Amino acid sequence: MQFETDFLIIGSGIAGLSFALKAAALGRVTMVTKKGQVDSATNRAQGGIACVLDAADSFADHVRDTLISGAGICDERVVRMVVESGPARVRELLEIGVPFENDGRGHLDLGREGGHSARRIAHAYDLTGHEIEASLLAAANSSPDITILENHIAVDLLLASRAGLASSSRPGDERCLGAYVQEAETLEIHTFQAKVTILSTGGTGKVYLYTTNPDIATGDGIAMAHRAGARVANLEFVQFHPTCLYHPKAKNFLISEAVRGEGGRLIDARGRAFMAEYDPRGDLATRDMVARAIDTELKTSGDDSVFLDISHKPAAFIKKRFPHIYSTCLSYGIDITSEPIPVVPAAHYMCGGVRTDIMGRTNINFLYALGETACTGLHGGNRLASNSLLEAVVFAEQAFQDCKKMWPELRAQKVLSLPVWSAGQAEKLEECVLISHTWDQIRRLMWDYVGIVRREKRLLLVQENLAILQQQVKRYYHDYLLTPDLVELRNIALLADLIVQSALRRKESRGLHFMLDYPAMLDNPTPFTVL
Ligand SMILES: Cc1cc2nc3c(=O)[nH]c(=O)nc-3n(C[C@H](O)[C@H](O)[C@H](O)COP(=O)(O)OP(=O)(O)OC[C@H]3O[C@@H](n4cnc5c(N)ncnc54)[C@H](O)[C@@H]3O)c2cc1C
């Protein structure tokens, strides 16, 4: 079937929903989301959203902290814009109903996290993302101009050139006309035509074996954009969260950075506090430093995990400040008020993504990328904690302002007849093990060889292996009828290859990208590894 809408938004996390609520003032909004509405990284964010809201803090300090964390390659103009737009965007979230904690005196209660020189994290204890997602969804579901279609997975973008249509008003430029979207239940693939398409599909954590990310994080937006010819950048900068709960039954449970911010100390199995040996900021060092320190400790000691200890703080404080972490750990038999928490690093955040300008535009007309899918220049070589929720809401506003300007021209556009999806000679896949096995192979390869500390030889080896695996996936894609699992496998195979290509191109160690062969930083680094 062919559907027509003004704005097609792919993904229902903070980025997509924030844009949807604004765009509904202009036209009809259709959101497609591949699982349930709440299935997103946003829903899991614990720490909060970074923003200058205290008289003792300043934009200059937030900008400086972001630039330091970004290891010299942030786009300073973008950093400044994002930081200075922060207070207005947090006020909008409050107006929508996000219950950020206040200090009882009319101000927000601001938390502190690693890499921040001031208390500037607006939070709803450790359920911040859950509260943001719930408030945004409540607003979107009550808007008559927004339709949210669950269990609809975008497969590929629709391009004017491939549809045999003239491109855009700017001659020679490619133009996005929407996307092919599969309905998970019927497996039917529909054509969604749109005046503006927003990629807000989140991150890429599932490319790695161990991750804090939810299952949806398979880099679909980045993969679709790359296949369509959009520029992607800085995919070598994968942030590994230093503290993921280590327990055989726990799946992807993150212990927030805020635990260290509130005095939590990292210790080894013998009780030795080790962070001061790696960084003068000790336990408040940035994530990359802490993750690398833990990686070194584990490789040296052969232990399964290190420990994060906050048990010296009053039990009542711990239970109030970290209710979700407290109850989840307790469900695994760990009482964090009286014992340390076993933790390991895990893939957490993709700093790179679809390259956009300061308005969220990609190099394909009428295609925007927002949130974790985008590479805006804010994070540079390493994202500062809690800057990603901020980036998502700020760039939703930027993209909206850009669309608003073009709207008189856009709204007059006619509906075109676009090609329907053709399955060719494809047959039903009878043995799903083909997909699950290849999926596991890719994720383990990436974990073992393209993790926190990298080496050129290993990267080249992975590249060879991935080339074979990608050929297999290509065959499955042509031979078998598409399923959501196959769509995701195709995307993680591409993302893995793009991450390795990017890592091989950056011949230095900077921020999250640590190469044993090139331990120093270059004097004149490229700010963007563009593929
Ligand atoms: C455990 C955890 C804790 C975090 N804590 C913080 C924090 O405290 N502060 C902070 O700033 N950041 C935090 N982050 C990072 C932050 O949560 C994410 O970067 C941010 O929420 C991303 O928002 P998003 O809207 O870009 O993507 P998401 O919230 O991940 O949403 C992506 C959406 O796209 C959909 N989707 C994906 N592919 C397709 C497809 N092909 N078709 C249709 N739909 C698709 C998904 O189903 C989902 O609805 C945390 C991340 C994790 C995992």
Q: Looking at ligand 1, which residue's alpha carbon is closest to its atom 38? A: 201
For ligand 1, mutation pick of 44, 156, 190, 218 (most atoms within 8 Å of CB): 44
385: amino acid identity, one letter: A
324 lines ligand 1 (CB under 6 A): no
According to CATH, where is 3.50.50.60 located in the chain?
A: 2-236+351-411
Q: Looking at ligand 1, which residue's alpha carbon is closest to its atom 3? A: 45
33 lines ligand 1 (CB under 6 A): yes
Closest C-alpha to 527, from 515, 414, 513, 281: 513
User: Does CATH number 3.30.200.20 belong to domain 242-347?
Assistant: no
Question: Residue 439: how many CB atoms within 10 A of its CB?
Answer: 19
200 lines ligand 1 (CB under 6 A): yes
Handedness of CA 322, 328, 331, 334 (dihedral sign): negative
**Residues 443, 209: contact at Cβ < 8 Å?**
yes
For ligand 1, mutation pick of 8, 9, 14 (most atoms within 8 Å of CB): 14
Q: Looking at ligand 1, which residue's alpha carbon is closest to its atom 37? A: 201
User: What pTM, to 2 d.p., does this model score?
Assistant: 0.93
According to CATH, where is 3.90.700.10 located in the chain?
A: 242-347
Instruction: Name the active-site residue from 112, 120, 175, 287.
Output: 287
Task: Tell how far the Cα of 118 is from the centroid of ligand 1, in angstroms.
Answer: 25
DSSP state of 421: P
Beta strands at 374-375 and 353-355: parallel, antiparallel or unpaired: parallel
For ligand 1, mutation pick of 18, 40, 128 (most atoms within 8 Å of CB): 40
Closest C-alpha to 204, from 527, 450, 528: 450
CA dihedral 136, 138, 141, 144 (to 10 degrees): -90
DSSP state of 415: P
Distance CA 353, CA 531 (A): 10
Q: Find the distance separating the first CA and the last CA of the chain, reported in whole Å.
A: 34
- Rounded to 5 degrees, what are φ and ψ at 173? -90, 150
Distance CA 377, CA 101 (A): 30
- Taking only the tens of pLDDT, the chain with its 531 residues reads 999 999 999 999 999 999 999 999 999 999 999 999 999 999 999 889 999 999 999 999 999 999 999 999 999 999 999 999 999 999 999 999 999 999 888 899 999 888 899 999 999 988 999 999 999 999 999 999 999 999 999 999 999 988 777 654 454 589 999 999 999 999 999 999 999 999 999 999 999 988 999 999 999 999 999 999 999 999 999 999 999 999 988 878 889 888 998 999 999 999 999 999 999 999 998 888 899 999 889 888 989 899 999 999 999 999 999 999 999 999 999 999 999 999 999 999 999 999 999 999 999 999 999 999 999 999 999 999 899 999 999 999 999 999 999 999 999 888 777 888 988 888 998 888 989 999 999 999 998 899 999 999 999 999 999 999 999 999 999 999 999 999 999 999 999 999 999 999 999 999 999 999 999 999 999 999 999
Distance CA 21, CA 467 (A): 42
154 lines ligand 1 (CB under 6 A): yes
Task: Tell how far the Cα of 45 is from the centroid of ligand 1, in angstroms.
Answer: 8
Query: Counting atoms of ligand 1 from 1, which one is nearest the CA of 155?
Result: 41
216 lines ligand 1 (CB under 6 A): yes
What tens digit of pLDDT does each residue of 168-195 get? Answer: 445 458 999 999 999 999 999 999 999 9
**What six digits make up the tokens of 349?**
């955040």
Strand partners, 254: 244
Closest C-alpha to 178, from 19, 35, 10: 10
DSSP result, 46-86: -S-EE---STT--HHHHHHHHHHHTTT-S-HHHHHHHHHHH
Task: Tell how far the Cα of 219 is from the centroid of ligand 1, in angstroms.
Answer: 11
**Residues 176, 157: contact at Cβ < 8 Å?**
yes
Query: Is 287 assigned a catalytic role?
Result: yes
47 lines ligand 1 (CB under 6 A): yes
Q: What is the largest CA-CA distance in the chain?
A: 69
Per residue, what are the HEC states of 78-145? Answer: HHHHHHHHHHHHHHHHHHHCCCCCECCCCCECEECCCCCCCCCEECECECHHHHHHHHHHHHHHCCCC
Angle at 120 between CA 115 and CA 125, to 5 degrees: 100
**pLDDT for position 125:** 84
346 lines ligand 1 (CB under 6 A): no
Task: Tell how far the Cα of 15 is from the centroid of ligand 1, in angstroms.
Answer: 8
**pLDDT for position 171:** 47
Strand partners, 214: none
Task: Tell how far the Cα of 126 is from the centroid of ligand 1, in angstroms.
Answer: 16
**Residues 258, 48: contact at Cβ < 8 Å?**
yes
The matching CATH number, chosen from 3.40.50.880, 2.120.10.30, 3.50.50.60, 1.10.10.10, for 2-236+351-411 is 3.50.50.60
What tens digit of pLDDT does each residue of 320-330 get? Answer: 999 999 999 99
48 lines ligand 1 (CB under 6 A): yes
Query: Counting atoms of ligand 1 from 1, which one is nearest the CA of 46?
Result: 8
For ligand 1, mutation pick of 32, 101, 189, 201 (most atoms within 8 Å of CB): 201
Distance CA 230, CA 361 (A): 10
Distance CA 29, CA 21 (A): 9
The matching CATH number, chosen from 1.20.58.100, 3.40.50.1820, 3.40.50.720, 1.10.10.410, for 433-514 is 1.20.58.100
Task: Tell how far the Cα of 198 is from the centroid of ligand 1, in angstroms.
Answer: 15
Handedness of CA 227, 233, 236, 239 (dihedral sign): negative
Task: Tell how far the Cα of 427 is from the centroid of ligand 1, in angstroms.
Answer: 33
Task: Tell how far the Cα of 178 is from the centroid of ligand 1, in angstroms.
Answer: 21
According to CATH, where is 1.20.58.100 located in the chain?
A: 433-514
